[in-house]
Amino acid sequence: MITEKKRQNTENPKNTNRSQVKWYRKKWLRITALCLAAVLVISELVIHYTSQQTVQAELGPQMLMDAQVQEVLKDPLRLLRAFKEAKGQLQDKQQKLLEACDQAEKLIKEEKYEEAIEPVDYLLKEMDLTEEETIQMKMTRTALCFSSGRFDEAMEGCTELIDLDRSENGYYYFMRSICSIQKEDYRQAKQDLLEALDHGYEDEALCYVHLAFCDNYLEEYNDVLKYASLAEKKGADEIYHLTLVYLMAVASLKEEKFQDSISYITELLTTDQYRESGDLYFYRGVSELTLEEYQKAYDDFQEAMKYGLTEAEGTGGEGKKESDTMLYYNRGVAALGLNKTEEAVADLQKVVEQNDNQELTDAAEELLDMLQSGTIDGAENTTDSSQNI
């Protein structure tokens, strides 16, 4: 969807104040005819007759004039040959430009965007374009770079067009924000998304979707809730609904709006996409545990244990161990709330044995000591587990 909108905006940029002459229909090569004038200047010849008539015959006025004409015509003939050669070169260049146009058009229609960049670069370099035609061609190149994953070049193209005061109602701010997201520069992406809205970008809902996404990574959870809600109100495409609900579920949990978080997660768990998400069962269990709904929390931690939590990338298995530690700890706390002391002790001891999260290890050891000394029972447990999200 995003790619299609970009392509549409690129092929038909909105600019009612500027001429929209198609560059590929303009007669951009003109050969000016050369007018050759050969001026024959014949000096006055004074022939002195002598008694040597043979000499007079050989060097008479007609013969001298013919020699002058031949001499004068040497330069025009040289010019004619050069003109013929130049015309051939121009025709050859014209043919190459036409071939480049055809090739670029063909490749774009075939969605071979990266391959299309080369003929477009040739046209930008060799064609005699007007300022507006050059801008249109740069728009095409920027879209091709974006569509082929060359995000650094696409960002450069967006920046150049913005500097030329051609943001196209915020479109190139939006495109640049997507490039920044691909490069995981969420702060820059957020700034460009806000600029896109300020410049009147037409798809406000899509901007708000991406703002919520960026703020999730920036851990600005109050803004996540704000922009996700705006995206829904502005009529964001249905394909983004579950993503927005997911973002609101996590943000609500982080903002300690536990009942809201439970409602969002419950909606997600009714869908095929998230029905077996261990992460969501875990998040809902944490909210329920904080609200002292121990049985619901315990059941959700059981489901999370069944499906597993998402393992952190690049941890070589350590992420899986730490995820298990979080589950054991929180299930142990829920078991304490239900007075299931033996189950609680078993889970807390596993946390201590794994010892891969110092905060959880210390908390588990403290709870075990209190249980052993008899200074705590399940109903009195007030440990805050929301910090372990």
Q: What's the CA gap between 251 and 205, in Å, rounded? A: 19
Phi/psi region, residue 308 (left: phi>0; alpha: psi -120 to 50; beta: rest), is left
Phi/psi region, residue 184 (left: phi>0; alpha: psi -120 to 50; beta: rest), is left
CB 388 within 8 A of CB 329: yes
Q: What's the CA gap between 148 and 334, in Å, rounded? A: 50
pTM for the full model? Answer: 0.71
Residues 6+ apart with CB under 8 A from 47: 56, 59, 60, 61
Spans of the chain, pLDDT less than 50: 1-60, 312-317, 379, 381-387
Look up tokens 């803004």; give the residue.
223
CB 389 within 8 A of CB 286: yes
Beta-carbon neighbour count of residue 339 at 10 Å? 13
Q: What's the CA gap between 317 and 308, in Å, rounded? A: 13
Closest CA to 249 of 226, 276, 268: 268
Q: What's the CA gap between 262 and 227, in Å, rounded? A: 20
| pLDDT tens string 338-357 | 999 999 999 999 999 999 89
The pLDDT score that the predictor gives to residue 248 is 98
DSSP state letters, 72-119: HTHHHHHHHHHHHHHHHHHHHHHHHHHHHHHHHHHHHHTT-HHHHHHH
The pLDDT score that the predictor gives to residue 71 is 53
What is the DSSP code (8-state) at residue 386? G
Rounded to 10 degrees, what is the CA torsion of 173, 140, 137, 172?
0
Q: What's the CA gap between 287 and 280, in Å, rounded? A: 11
Torsional sign, CA 75, 77, 83, 85: negative
The pLDDT score that the predictor gives to residue 76 is 57
What is the DSSP code (8-state) at residue 387? G
Closest CA to 137 of 18, 2, 30, 22: 22
- State which amino acid sits at residue 213: F
Q: What's the CA gap between 157 and 141, in Å, rounded? A: 8
The pLDDT score that the predictor gives to residue 206 is 96
Q: What's the CA gap between 368 and 361, in Å, rounded? A: 11
Closest CA to 329 of 383, 256, 261, 250: 383
Look up tokens 């479109």; give the residue.
171
- State which amino acid sits at residue 252: S
Q: What's the CA gap between 89 and 87, in Å, rounded? A: 5
Phi/psi region, residue 168 (left: phi>0; alpha: psi -120 to 50; beta: rest), is left
The pLDDT score that the predictor gives to residue 134 is 92
Structure tokens at 96: 């190459």
The pLDDT score that the predictor gives to residue 91 is 84
